[in-house]
A = this chain, B = another copy of it.
Amino acid sequence: MAFVQHQPQANRDAVLSSVVSQGELGTWEDVKNARSTRKAKIGVHKIIFHEGDEARSLYELVSGAAMLYKLLPDGRRQVVEVLGPGDLFGFDVAGRHGSSAETLISTEVMVYCRREIEDSIGAQSHVARCALHQVGAMHDHAVLLGRKSAYERVATFLMRFLQDPQARERKSQQPQARRVGRVSLHMTRQEMADYLGLTIETVSRVISDMKRKQVIYLEKHDKIVVSDIGALFQLTGAYPD
């Protein structure tokens, strides 16, 4: 990430925070330890906030998984983001949440006070880094939604949520070796469909087809094992013929 100062980052923030007038916090760690910051445990499929709600807090997902989604008046839904540990969310412009947030599984979040963030220098730069990362992810997702076929969408989805990140890196380097990977699906077919801009039936059909072609198989109803990562990667569309 381009904005990260590799070695001296924490150092500089420490220097700065010592200068900032009393009451103001300097580093992201300071905000984490602020008295107004608290941790919350949230059950499965609970709504954290609704689209349109007043945005009072900033959230950080500590463990678990959640999604952000938007609704059209007639009920169509688009899941705009899938969140994992370390992701920030709820920091919307204009004081109102632009999307709803709902947990996918049991989840822990840190809840930060908005003012605290605004006053903190370290927090600003941490937020900037996260937001830039999200913009990049959204760009990729726009390509998926705008230009990829159903098959490519599901393949891209599976690649993205592969458990072992190393496996993803080595994906193209050893095209001959059939590498195996695992995906824990914390999402229902409906949620996947709303994320990928498809219908539940199409998602189901593509997954069935991948099973038939031995690219993946199911394990325990909510885990997908990718039996050939290379083959799956070929299907994402991100690879020349």
Contacts and interface: CB of A to CB of B under 8 A. Distances in A.
A197 B147 contact: yes
A93 B131 contact: no
A68 B139 contact: yes
A124 B131 contact: no
Given A128-B124, A135-B138, A143-B80, A239 B73 contact: yes
Copies of the chain in the assembly: 2
- Highest count of chain B CB atoms <10 Å: which of A91, A121, A131: A131
A146 B129 CA distance: 26
Interface in A77-110: 77-78, 80-81, 91-95, 98-99
A78 B143 contact: yes
Contacts of A3: 91, 117-118, 124, 127
A72 B197 contact: no
B139 A135 contact: no
Contacts of A197: 145-147
A48 to B, nearest CB: 16
A15 B68 CA distance: 38
A80 B132 contact: no
A142 B1 CA distance: 24
